[in-house]
Amino acid sequence: MTDARVPRPSTPPRQPRSTGPSQARRRRRSFRGRLPPPRERHRTRVRADATPEGTDISTDNISTADETTDTDGTTIVTGESPIDPDVPQTTIVDTDTHVAPTFAELGVSDEIVAALEADGKTHTFAIQELTLPLALAGDDLIGQARTGMGKTFGFGVPLLHRITQVKPGSDGPLRPLDGTPRALVIVPTRELCLQVTGDLQVAGKGIEVDPQPNPKRKLSIVSIYGGRPYESQIAELQAGADVVVGTPGRLLDLAQQGHLILGKVQILVLDEADEMLDLGFLPDIERIMRALPDQRQTMLFSATMPGPIVTLARTFLNRPTHIRAEHAGDSAVHDRTKQHAYRAHALDKAELVARVLQAEGRGATMIFTRTKRTAQKVADDLAERGFKVGAVHGDLGQVAREKALGRFRDGSIDVIVATDVAARGIDIDDVTHVINYQCPEDDKAYVHRIGRTGRAGRTGIAVTLVDWDELHKWKLINDALDLGIPEPVETYSSSEHLRSDLSIPESATGRIAPPAPKEREGTSDGGRREQRAPRANRERRRTRGARSADDGAPAAKAPKAPTSETSSDSSGPDSAQSDGDGSSRPRRRRRRGRGRGASAEGSTSSQATASSDQ
């Protein structure tokens, strides 16, 4: 018996999927943001638990590593070697013997070292210690550290060192200076633009350059930002700019007009990249980066690293090294900043803030609000209570904002009220108190606000006032940062625990000076009026029907005019009436009623008056 099996019908071959433009676009989107194969990535990570500030230092290429902690307190981090990814590398740093190197020991030029020493800066901070060797070598990197950790000099010092060490006529990786920008620093806000420009000018104070074919001159650092006239910034660019610091919008405008040459930029820095993402500048940044040469060094610095910023780094950076400087197992905020949160009523916040400003040991203070209108209102209220206060917000012109920040820096005023946008651009080391007049929107805004105090190894105090309708926001911030204050205590300006927590004297009130009289425009005497001479008493007589109401004598009539039209007008309500002494003055105009009834009454009364005169 034969076993006959019916053969299965053969299936048709699988047709290849269509690769139309939509599918190709979808594939590009799905590939965007992927990491290359593991063998092509450098994995290196170094961690030290002790620097002069007790800071934990780590570097990696957006990767992970295995960590173990030894019994003596040192941290051992195991990762892959940058030379051979298959060979693990272990780096052990003793926490007791580690000393931060100086700028000179890291190979910075003598001119920059001398300028920094004159400004009181000799040793590096944690983020500077790690970024300088890589940045001086021309490598791309991502620097991540909390506010106040010295990120500006972390990219500013190697930037100035590299562009000034190029000799005229050299054929190295960097072109010699010729009056066009060699380095570009992009920042999110105008205030941060001025702050970064000032720091770079301090570091490059004693540097002379030889831009061919122009004569020798000082290093030129130009700030480009909105709110200023185009003409002055264009003139600075045409005179020769070696380093340009600017905001995305104005940089893009001048580049499109042909005044800013981006084709020769060889060092690019993105500072506070996460803030530029929040402000919606990411499309402008991508347009600027596409106009730059491909052969360049790119450094990205930020306090936080959200997903779009990581994607931007993977797209435009060439094998970047990710550097993080932070305390081991520490939160995102400074331990040297003492934080308080109180549940306060909106009508009592002004009085409460006025008492907090009288705390013992209070120095420069920053008050943050969410809206521009609230910032100006708080500033006006505190000024009326006698405090030296200024305001920085979007409704003010750029000149007024710079003037307020300048007075705050030189000590003319010790309180400044600002919105969240200005929080990134104010870098003052001696801020002792930060007051959140309104609860921040999220944990990132909270970190950036209180990061204005406790900078450069100093201590600070942060006070957050939470209204009843802001409790849900505060709960999210507390859970994200693990602050340990889930329920703020209900607090008023007269609460005893407020005095004890912030060392407010019992004699403090809501006002430190009587209200000053408001000056009137155009007066120099403080708005005070000169006392007028007393007016002479004028006797007035009432008349009714052209007769005096006192004695019934007919009042003197105005002289008749030669025309009949004028005589009819003289007997009307606008005719002149005379006093008993013969002086004539115009009669008061009668108020005529509205409507038919009123007009009828008016005509009747006029007829009655005419008949009585006859």
Residues 441-451 have pLDDT tens digits of 988 888 888 88
**Res 196: pLDDT:** 93
pLDDT exceeds 60 at position 576 = no
Is pLDDT at 48 greater than 60 in this prediction? no
User: Which domain CATH number covers 396?
Assistant: 3.40.50.300
Instruction: Give the pLDDT confidence score for residue 595 in this predicted structure.
Output: 52
Q: How confident is the model at residue 515 (pLDDT cuts 50, 70, 90)?
A: low
Q: 125 and 218: one domain? A: yes
Same domain, 159 and 281: yes
- What phi, psi does 343 have (nearest 5°)? -90, 110
Q: Are 10 and 289 in contact (CB under 8 A)?
A: no
Tell me, yes or no, whether 270 lies in a domain: yes
As for how many domains the chain has, the answer is 2
Residue 566 belongs to some domain of the structure: no
Residue with more model confidence, 607 or 116: 116
What span, in angstroms and rounded, lies between the C-alpha atoms of 449 and 466?
Answer: 15
Question: Between residues 525 and 342, which one has the greater pLDDT?
Answer: 342
The CA–CA distances, whole Å, from 516 to 358, 383, 386 equal 19, 9, 8
User: For 345-367, how does the pLDDT look when each residue is reduced to its tens digit (9 = 90+)?
Assistant: 999 999 999 999 999 999 999 99
Same domain, 310 and 344: no
Structural domain that includes position 218: 100-326
Task: Mark whether 259 and 295 lie in a shared domain.
Answer: yes
Check whether 605 has a pLDDT greater than 70.
Answer: no
- Residue 529 CA to residue 47 CA, distance in Å, equals 71
Based on the fold, state whether residues 131 and 242 are members of the same structural domain: yes
**Rounded distance between C-alpha atoms, residue 429 and residue 427, angstroms:** 7
The angle formed by the CA atoms of residues 154, 155 and 158, to the nearest 5 degrees, is: 100
Is the pLDDT at 225 greater than 60? The verdict is: yes
Q: Which residues pair with 57 in a beta bridge?
A: 48, 325
Residues 198 and 222 in one domain: yes
Enumerate residues 6+ apart whose C-beta is below 8 A from 23.
17
Last residue of a domain, one of 275, 296, 326: 326
Q: What is the pLDDT of residues 295-340, one digit of tens each?
A: 999 999 887 788 888 888 888 999 899 888 765 444 455 567 899 9
Of 502, 530, 558, at which residue does a domain stop? 502
- Report how far apart, in Å, the C-alpha atoms of 517 and of each of 384, 413, 527, 531 are: 10, 20, 7, 17
- Find the helix packing angle between 372-384 and 349-356, rounded to 10°: 60
Q: What was the pLDDT predicted at 546? A: 60
322, 347: one domain: no
Contacts of 143 (CB under 8 A, 6+ apart): 127, 131, 151, 154, 155, 299, 300, 301, 302, 323, 325
Structure confidence at residue 23 (pLDDT): 47
Claim to verify: residue 281 and residue 379 sit in the same structural domain? no
Nearest to 110, CA basis, from 74, 164, 72:
164
Q: Is residue 114 part of a domain?
A: yes
- The reply to whether 584 falls in a domain is no
Nearest to 116 by CA among 194, 201, 184: 201
Q: Quick one: three-class SS letters along 215-237?
A: CCEECCEEEECCCCCHHHHHHHH
Considering the domain boundaries, does residue 120 fall inside one?
yes
403 and 322 co-located in one domain: no
pLDDT of residue 585: 61
Residue 74 lies inside a defined structural domain of this protein: no
**Is there a domain that residue 507 lies in?**
no
Whole-number Å distance between alpha carbons of 310 and 298: 14
What is the C-alpha separation between 271 and 155, in angstroms, rounded?
Answer: 9
Report, in angstroms and rounded to the nearest whole number, the Rg of the chain calculated over CA atoms: 38
Average pLDDT over residues 65-84: 36
Structure tokens, 264: 């020769």
The residues near 189 (Cβ < 8 Å, ≥ 6 apart) are 247, 275, 421, 422, 424, 425
Q: In the structure encoding, which two tokens stand for residue 194, read together? A: 């001025």
Are 302 and 449 part of one and the same domain? no
Helix axes 190-203, 398-410, angle to 10 degrees: 50
Nearest-10 Cα torsion for 403, 406, 412, 414: 100
Mean pLDDT for the stretch of residues 150-161: 92
Residues 312 and 202 in one domain: yes
Average pLDDT, the chain: 75
Residues 234 and 227: their CA atoms lie apart, in Å, by 14
In a domain, 28, yes or no: no
539-556: average pLDDT: 61
Query: Which pLDDT score is estimated for 570?
Result: 44
At which of 470, 502, 534 does a domain end?
502
Are 303 and 385 found together in one domain? no
